[in-house]
Structure formats: C-alpha cells, structure tokens
Amino acid sequence: MPTLYRGTHLVIQHHHASGYVRVVRSETPFESITEVLAALDACGAALTDVDVAHHGILFDWRRSPISTDPNLHKALAERMDALAEAFDRRAILLATPVGMMQAARVGRAMGNQKMLVFNDEDDAVKCVTYP
C-alpha cells in the first residue's frame, strides 16, 4: 500500500488491490481555514493519477482533535465533499458514536447525504472497497 501524500495533517494511502484510498487525519489541529484548504488541495493534487471514478475514499478521522470552530468545520466539510465527489464510494470513519452524530448533523445541514459515517473500521472498509 503506497503512501501518495504525507503532510502535517493528512496522509493518503492507496489500497490499489481493494480499490480505495484512505485519507488519515493526524492529531495535529488545524490552526486556520487556510491550513484546511491547503491540506485538502494537496490531497487532490496527490490523487491526480488515481482513477477515482472506480475507487472508494475513506476519511479516517479517528485521531482528529476536537474543534469547536464552526467556520473551520464548514470549510473542512466542504473541501472533503469536493475531494470525494468524483469517487464511486465515500465514507468517514470516526472514533465514537458522538462523533458519528456530529458528522451526520453537519452533513444534513450542508445537504450532503452521500458520505456514509462509521465508527467500525471493518464496516467502513467494506463500504469503500469493490463490491
């Protein structure tokens, strides 16, 4: 499983045989919306050689630090949605049921119902791999 990108906040792993990429969030907090945009733009650039229309994407946010900044949440959700849009299958993996509820609430508020939310790694991986 090659690493396509490694930054301060995100790492992208390509699980080619299973047909998905995993975007792993580090424990380093985003200090600004500019950092969010730059990190996710770098992920987009790293994925240019992946046939995303035939892949799934899994955002592994289990180590993500808690933030209470609604503007940062909005920027992060919008940029994640934009990055995931071209992928065939999309999911986010969170550490707790409370995190799942918050992600579902943000998704409903923004009108995005395409990103499935999990707190079980096996279920999340099954969702984004080839059927």
| Model confidence pLDDT, tens digit, residues 3-51 | 999 999 999 999 999 999 999 999 999 999 999 999 999 999 999 999 9
Q: What is the CATH number of the domain that holds 107?
A: 3.30.750.24
Q: Give me the number of domains the chain comprises.
A: 1
Residues in the chain: 131
Euclidean distance between CA atoms 78 and 2, whole angstroms:
27
Q: What is the pLDDT of residue 5?
A: 97
User: Which residues, 6 or more positions from 105, have their beta carbon under 8 angstroms from its beta carbon?
Assistant: none
Host domain of residue 72: 3-128
For residue 69, give both structure tokens. 């900044």
Q: Tens digit of pLDDT for each residue in 55-65? A: 999 999 999 88
Residue 6 parent element (H or E): strand 3-6
For residue 38, give both structure tokens. 């730059």
Is the confidence at residue 94, as pLDDT, over 80? yes
Give the rounded percent of residues in the chain with a pLDDT score beyond 70: 85
Is the confidence at residue 113, as pLDDT, over 70? no
Q: What is the mean pLDDT of the chain?
A: 87
Question: What is the pTM (predicted TM-score) of this model?
Answer: 0.89
